[in-house]
């Protein structure tokens, strides 16, 4: 299929219910959806295989213009279609229950409402289960009521318009919607045996309208619990809503993104599955969401990480499934051609086996931050934390893969060393404040040794800046995080020079790259990394360089799509999004930068 068939990533809107997720294009097509969990096999995956992946589209039969927005302070997507004959709105959501998000409907709800004149609309429902591998057995069970079954997947598809079976694997229909009229399409996920045995009935049409109203109310109630932060409050609130939707309600985990295999380099092989929960994101999550007042979500993620990671420091992983799963074996899906031909399509993530030394510091810093909120570790968890600090003390001098999960040879990354320093530093502080038993003299000795080594081998004296890794005199945007963990002050001259050199060496078109292009051995030129630009804005704000902070922040904001959603990376030349979408780390970093700028403005 031609690459031009695939819409740009920015064409997609995002809906979710703290369990499942879907992407919807400007043309009203659900081209990606995973149920019942965000990391489940797909039921629609056209974004990764135009012919094979499956989709669900509602759009006018004639030429049309479109615009869209989220209903204020919700994740309910409203798309407006205009033709020469009329105007309608398409409303898409995963319905939320009034009582909370822990017992989902497991439903996609699509409602078309006529606003002006009349319009003929085409409906197509083409499910493909397990990343396009399964064409489901679809059969009619009642008037405008069908079930689609395949393996462990089942969908109940119903509506109040004429739905026909084009062939065994494709439902379609055409209807005319007039001003003031509503037409509904419901897609429920259920176990195949429940559908096959007629144990589930389609919801009544009146109930669908009630579910939409409840969903709008639910999201607005949740959003209202947050605080307003300065000039960028709207963007911060939108990012918080995205993060909430990326969360898994039963466990508190937050997925890094809603998708897999959207390429970081056009047509290349940098295609990873990000529908999992990374330990390091816990620190960003706690910091960002607590700054906005969403303590419940921050605490839920903290508890998830504690449960998933606790046990033995020797078995610590850097990421987990959103249910706490440890086995995330990476496989390639040969049936899908990949977004615009970018292969391979991957499911699972081999980074689960990587050694990334920063994880020790992330967990200790998370515990320290939460201790300062009045939630101190108990004796059992302190025993685990002691193991982590001892592991950091033992392993800090070994090379690792770093925060960017480099798949080439391990290196002595400066950020990894600094995070081991943070593990020792937070362990010492916790032991002192809680009067816990710990080998403090040994910990202090190692902590000081790490600092001396980093300042000697991780510092370019000629330029007066910190560098990516020992013996690698290149810059890395992750160095912008050194002050956030207390390794160095924001206004230290070495940090100011490091900040400016990162801008000089890694900035392109007003945005930052992670590190020097093509430096990880994977080939293909990846885009600018959006979280890094927000880190820079935060750093500049903390250095009281507010005009520069606003400039960088606004440039990063400009990469959002019309819905305020951000991908992982951005292609400056093509002016297109790259990487998985929407990307949690980008939205987290936006919040942190917005808060830093707001605080600096107040001082």
Answer whether 83's CB lies under 8 Å from 30's CB. no
- Based on the domain organization, do 150 and 231 belong to the same domain? no
Tell whether the torsion through CA atoms of 297, 385, 449 and 279 is positive or negative: negative
Within this chain, do residues 76 and 211 fall inside the same structural domain, yes or no? yes
Read off the pLDDT band of 152 (50, 70, 90).
Answer: confident
When pLDDT is cut at 50, 70 and 90, the band that residue 539 belongs to is very high
Would you tell me how many other CB atoms lie within 10 Å of the CB of residue 170?
A: 15
The predicted structure's pLDDT at residue 4: 67
> Residue 519: pLDDT above 90?
no
Which residue has better confidence, 520 or 161? 161
- 471 phi/psi in degrees, rounded to 5: 70, 5
pLDDT of residue 27: 97
457-467 pLDDT tens trace? 999 999 999 99
User: Which pLDDT score is estimated for 531?
Assistant: 98
5 has a pLDDT exceeding 80: yes
DSSP letter at 228 equals P
Which whole number is the average pLDDT over 35-58? 96
Q: 345 and 415 share a domain?
A: yes
End-to-end distance of the chain based on CA atoms, in angstroms?
A: 56
Across the chain, mean pLDDT equals: 93
Mark whether 188 and 289 lie in a shared domain. no
pLDDT at 73 over 60: yes
Neighbour-count burial of 191, counting CB atoms closer than 10 A to its CB (0-12 exposed, 13-18 middle, 19+ buried):
middle
Using the predicted structure, report yes or no on whether residue 412 has a pLDDT greater than 80: yes
Identify whether residues 314 and 411 lie together within a single domain: yes
Residue 80 is part of which domain span? 3-222
525 pLDDT tier (thresholds 50, 70, 90): confident
- Whether omega for the bond prior to residue 36 falls within 30 degrees of 0, making it cis, is yes
State the CATH number of the domain containing residue 20.
2.70.98.10
Helix axis angle for 358-372 and 295-309, nearest 10°, is 140
Beta bridge partners of 15: 22
What is the structure's pLDDT at 560?
A: 98
Q: Return the closest-CA partner of residue 147 out of 129, 120, 122.
A: 129
Number of domains the chain contains: 2
CA atoms within 13 A on the CB side of 402: 21
Asked if 249 and 108 sit in the same domain, the reply is no
Average pLDDT, integer, range 317-333? 91
3-state secondary structure of 401: coil
Q: What is the mean pLDDT of residues 423-437?
A: 97
pLDDT value at residue 405: 79
Name the domain boundary from 194, 222, 250. 222
- Maximum C-alpha span of the chain: 79
- Classify 24 as helix, strand or coil: strand
Check pLDDT > 90 for residue 94.
Answer: yes
Same domain for 487 and 431: yes
Is the pLDDT at 228 greater than 90? The verdict is no
Same domain, 243 and 193: no
Q: How many CB atoms lie within 10 A of CB 287?
A: 18
Read off the pLDDT band of 137 (50, 70, 90).
very high
Phi, psi for residue 418 in degrees, rounded to 5: -65, -35
Encode pLDDT of 379-400 as tens digits: 888 999 999 999 999 999 999 9
Cβ–Cβ under 8 Å, residues 123 and 185: yes
pLDDT confidence of 345, banded at 50, 70, 90?
Answer: very high
Cα separations in angstroms, 230 against 407, 584, 601: 40, 21, 8
pLDDT at residue 82 in the model: 98
Give dist(CA 16, CA 219) in Å, integer.
11
Tell me, yes or no, whether 274 and 214 share the same domain: no
End position of a domain, from candidates 183, 203, 222: 222
Of the pLDDT bands very low, low, confident and very high (cuts 50, 70, 90), residue 520 is low
Which of 222, 242, 273 terminates a domain? The answer is: 222
Cα(382)–Cα(388) distance, rounded to whole angstroms? 10
Render 360-383 in DSSP notation, one character per residue: HHHHHHHHHHHHHTT----HHHHH
Exposed/middle/buried for residue 500 (C-beta within 10 Å: 0-12, 13-18, 19+): middle
pLDDT at 354: 75
Cα distance between residue 528 and residue 515, in whole Å:
9
> Are residues 232 and 138 part of one domain?
no
Same domain, 187 and 259: no
What is the reported pLDDT for 438?
A: 96
Contact 363, 311 (CB under 8 A): no
The answer to whether residues 124 and 99 belong to one domain is yes
Distance, in Å, from the CA atom of 93 to the CA atom of 107, rounded to the nearest integer, reads 8
Give the DSSP letter of residue 210.
H
Nearest of 260, 297, 302 to residue 283 by alpha carbon? 302
CATH code for the domain in which residue 354 is found: 1.50.10.10
């Amino acid at each position: 299929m031609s690459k031009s068939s695939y819409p740009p990533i920015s064409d997609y809107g995002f809906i979710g219910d703290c369990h499942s997720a879907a992407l919807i294009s400007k043309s009203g097509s659900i081209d990606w959806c995973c149920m019942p969990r965000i990391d489940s096999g797909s039921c629609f995956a056209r974004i990764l295989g135009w012919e094979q992946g499956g989709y669900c589209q509602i759009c006018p039969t004639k030429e049309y213009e479109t615009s869209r927005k989220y209903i204020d302070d919700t994740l309910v997507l409203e798309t407006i279609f205009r033709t020469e004959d009329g105007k309608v709105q398409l409303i898409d959501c995963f319905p939320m229950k009034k009582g909370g998000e822990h017992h989902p409907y497991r439903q996609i709800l699509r409602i078309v409402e006529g606003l002006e004149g009349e319009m003929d609309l085409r409906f197509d429902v083409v499910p493909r289960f397990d990343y396009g591998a399964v064409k489901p057995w679809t059969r009619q069970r009642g008037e405008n009521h069908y079930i689609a079954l395949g393996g462990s997947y089942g969908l109940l598809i119903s509506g109040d318009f004429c739905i026909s079976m084009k062939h065994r694997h494709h439902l379609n229909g055409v209807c005319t919607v007039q001003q003031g009229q509503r037409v509904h399409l419901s897609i429920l996920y259920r176990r195949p045996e429940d559908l096959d045995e007629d144990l589930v009935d389609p919801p009544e049409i009146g109930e669908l309208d009630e579910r939409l109203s409840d969903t709008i109310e639910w999201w607005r109630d949740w959003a209202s619990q947050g605080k307003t932060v300065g000039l960028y409050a709207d963007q911060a609130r939108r990012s918080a809503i995205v993060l909430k939707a990326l969360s898994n309600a039963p466990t508190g985990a937050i997925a890094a993104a809603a998708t897999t295999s959207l390429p970081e380099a056009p047509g290349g092989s940098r295609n990873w599955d990000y529908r999992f929960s990374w330990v390091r994101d816990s620190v960003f999550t706690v910091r960002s969401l607590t700054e906005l007042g969403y303590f419940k979500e921050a605490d839920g993620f903290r508890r998830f990480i504690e449960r998933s990671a606790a046990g033995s420091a020797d078995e610590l992983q850097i990421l987990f499934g959103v249910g706490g799963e440890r086995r995330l074996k990476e496989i390639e899906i040969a049936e899908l051609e990949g977004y615009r031909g970018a292969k391979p399509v991957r499911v699972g993530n081999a980074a689960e086996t990587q050694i990334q030394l920063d994880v020790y510091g992330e967990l200790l810093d998370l515990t320290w931050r939460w201790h300062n909120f009045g939630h101190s570790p108990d004796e059992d968890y302190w025993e685990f934390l002691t193991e982590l600090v001892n592991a950091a003390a033992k392993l800090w001098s070994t090379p690792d893969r770093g925060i960017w999960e480099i798949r080439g040879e391990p290196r002595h990354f400066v950020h990894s060393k600094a995070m081991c320093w943070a593990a020792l530093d937070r362990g010492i502080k916790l032991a002192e404040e809680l009067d816990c038993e710990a080998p403090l003299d040994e910990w202090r000795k190692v902590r000081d040794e790490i600092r001396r080594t980093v300042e000697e081998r991780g510092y370019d004296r000629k330029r007066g800046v910190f560098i990516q890794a020992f013996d690698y005199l290149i810059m890395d945007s992750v160095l912008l995080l050194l002050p956030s963990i207390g390794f160095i002050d924001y206004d230290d001259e070495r940090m100011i020079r490091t900040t400016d050199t990162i801008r000089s060496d890694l900035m392109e078109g007003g945005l930052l790259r992670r590190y020097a292009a093509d430096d990880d051995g994977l080939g293909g030129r990846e885009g600018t990394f959006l979280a890094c630009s927000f880190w820079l804005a935060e750093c500049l704000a903390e250095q009281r360089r507010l005009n520069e902070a606003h400039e960088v922040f606004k440039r990063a904001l400009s990469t959002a799509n019309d819905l305020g959603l951000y991908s992982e990376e951005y292609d400056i030349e093509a002016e297109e999004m790259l990487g998985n979408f929407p990307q949690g780390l980008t939205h987290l970093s936006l919040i942190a930068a917005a808060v830093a700028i707001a605080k600096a403005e107040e001082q």
